[in-house]
Structure 1
């Protein structure tokens, strides 16, 4: 039985809540595991670098003249801030398209101040503010470059999704597992957590050719354009800005995946109950434990302090390995 990793929430000197986190770290030395490595996990948005890979690896990104900012947006779960929405809109304009081609749906910005600013200014809501609009612009870009019909690009049988499936299965060295539909409408598949970690490890083993170039460009974009990955106050942005190697990416329901090409490490992490704060604290603990993040980086994130409405610290969220 592998040891579990527990994230505790304290208040008044006692543990109020405990979250179980499953982690697999894959490297040339094998697997390091906390919890259940066989847990079937939907990676959700943590898999966006895999979903962007066909666009870059095929040469479509280069032929379309996509920038590092656009590559970052293709992997983003952004907060819907003005910089995000305008950048996605400009990208679609570069393709001769607009937000009406996006099939991700629309919602108010995840970054609440941006939504309040929009409401005050009377800015109309559109799919540009969807946290996955950049990823969808990437899907449309691949379809446009390849001469495929853009309509219904979110459907499992569309050639965009089939290209993602082929790339994902190649990296997993396994068939994609049970299918669900993600929040933005595309297919998402549940696979073993250890297979997900190994897929992100295999990204580091591409040492030459189109795969190497694509991974390098996407990883670099996470660091150089980290704001586009998440935005104000987001851990993905804060961590990617600090990394000297690799990238990390959050997915809904408490998932993180990461790849570190120089260290040759792949990571998959899942909070059993889907709690974001547990996944974030566990990720910070893991990155510092592995020496992938400087020990003094983002001290406010490990432990994460709990404050009341008056701003007084009343507890903390911390790791307690059992």
Structure 2
């Protein structure tokens, strides 16, 4: 599949480019495309966690702490508060059902964890939530990773509730955590993020993320920093290999503004921070992003 990448930014020193970053961006208001840069199809990865939890919006609405609800939506750093929240969703006797790959904390994490364990995987909160929700639905739990499991049918239905009943993924693969992940265009992803704004009062998902951003990523994480700066007006979620989704509340976009960014060379929080700041600051969200290195100037092509 041919991907149409475009230049998003350069770092220049005395007008000589030293770094160039390519990628793609889509802006959607409600279900109307506002603007696109590039045209790529990619797997949703962890960007789709809000919709993976839409399946259990009712089951997880009560009986779980706000911290547990937040960690269900996270790609966490395996900090102590993250592990406590994730483990609270699954009784100790059921922890053997967890099928995340044994992992160390994410690179750059401040966690002191030094052993690879299933709970240390950044998606362990989501997996624990899926297991808890499946128990309430009466679904089998030993095979929840299988693409044929009813959870995944329900997840696709949650996507179709926004993208239309005829939507089908262009491809399906296995994500790093072992669950299926679906490929879609950035415009489709941005439409899904716009809908998070429009539907933010319909369930617990928006509040769980924006009220406890430190549990969604953790110390030093981009999505956590953006949501802290946004003060409830922006939901942000990182996705592996260069994805960032933004769901923005703004009076100029009453049906919700969804923005999804994909960096071609993979996850790069510094470069993504420049891009996110350039998008958010004009909308009144004071996320300043990183400073350019001494002697360099950041030139944006957005």
The alpha-carbon deviation at position 314 of structure 1 amounts to 5.8
Question: How large is the Cα RMSD of the aligned pairs?
Answer: 2.5
Superposition pairs of residues 112-123 of structure 1, within 5 angstroms: 112=108, 114=110, 117-119=112-114
SS at match of 1:91: coil
SS at match of 2:300: strand
Look up the match of 1:55: 56
Do the aligned partners of 1:5 and 1:34 also contact (CA within 8 Å) in 2?
A: no
Superposition pairs of residues 172-321 of structure 1, within 5 angstroms: 172-173=163-164, 174-206=167-199, 212-214=201-203, 217-243=204-230, 244-261=232-249, 263=253, 264-276=256-268, 277-291=270-284, 293-294=285-286, 297=287, 299=288, 301-302=289-290, 304-306=291-293, 313=294, 315=296, 318-321=298-301
Look up the match of 1:309: none
Give the distance between the partners of 1:52 and 1:41, measured in 2 at CA.
Answer: 20
Look up the match of 2:46: 45
The alpha-carbon deviation at position 77 of structure 1 amounts to 0.6
- Given candidates 97, 101, 107, the residue that maps to 2:103 is 107
The alpha-carbon deviation at position 275 of structure 1 amounts to 4.0
Give the distance between the partners of 1:234 and 1:152, measured in 2 at CA.
Answer: 32
TM-score (norm 2): 0.87
The alpha-carbon deviation at position 183 of structure 1 amounts to 0.7
Look up the match of 1:310: none
Look up the match of 2:70: 72
SS at match of 1:227: helix
Which one has the bigger helix percentage? Answer: 1
Tell me the alpha carbon deviations over residues 35-85 of structure 1, each in whole angstroms, 9 at most, x when there is no partner: 224x212121111111111111xx10135x122211211110111112111
Give the distance between the partners of 1:232 and 1:202, measured in 2 at CA.
Answer: 28
Provide closer, same or farther for how the CA distance between residues 266 and 179 of structure 1 changes in structure 2, counting only shifts above 3 A. same
Do the aligned partners of 1:111 and 1:232 also contact (CA within 8 Å) in 2?
A: no
The alpha-carbon deviation at position 238 of structure 1 amounts to 0.9
TM-score (norm 1): 0.82
Look up the match of 1:137: 128
Aligned residues: 291
Give the distance between the partners of 1:83 and 1:66, measured in 2 at CA.
Answer: 15
Do the aligned partners of 2:5 and 2:22 also contact (CA within 8 Å) in 1?
A: no
Look up the match of 1:92: 90
Tell me the alpha carbon deviations over residues 95-144 of structure 1, each in whole angstroms, 9 at most, x when there is no partner: x64432211111111155655x334xxxx542111101111111111101
